[in-house]
Amino acid sequence: MVLRRTEPLSLERALALAGTLTKERVDAFMDTERTILESLVTASQSINMDVRSYIQGLRDWVAGFVNWLYETNRYLGEKGSEVRAFGWVFIPLNP
């Protein structure tokens, strides 16, 4: 609904764009996560654990938000099931 208010899109195109944007953002998050985790090789043990805990918290938040996005009527109205037809966005539990 937000995309349709900002751009002249059909419902189908707005749903496809919302799914694409969500997937792109999740992919960007995972790329950044991978880069950060690879850089921890030289970090101290306490910094390493703190950063890993923080990243896990971010992962949990992103996964919860994406789940909520599909389940609530706030953004997709009653079209959540139609959006699922484009594929769910999953974040693996373990980095």
The verdict on residue 44 lying in a domain is yes
Give the range of the structural domain holding residue 13, as residue numbers without chain letter: 2-84
pLDDT digits 0-9 by tens, 9-31: 887 788 788 778 888 988 898 89
* Predicted confidence band of residue 87 (pLDDT cuts 50, 70, 90): low
Q: What is the number of domains present in the chain?
A: 1
In a domain, 21, yes or no: yes
Q: DSSP class of residue 93? A: S
Q: Is residue 90 part of a domain?
A: no
Q: Is residue 92 part of a domain?
A: no
Any domain includes 47: yes
In a domain, 15, yes or no: yes
The whole-angstrom separation of Cα 35 and Cα 24 is 17
In a domain, 55, yes or no: yes
* 38-74: pLDDT as tens digits: 888 777 888 888 998 999 999 888 888 877 877 777 7
Q: How far apart are CA 56 and CA 54, in angstroms?
A: 5
- Report yes or no on 91 lying in a domain: no
Helix 45-71 / helix 11-39 crossing angle, nearest 10 deg: 170
DSSP 36-92: HHHHGGGS-HHHHHHHHHHHHHHHHHHHHHHHHHHHSSTTTTT-HHHHHTT------
Q: Measure the CA–CA gap between 67 and 32, rounded to whole angstroms.
A: 21
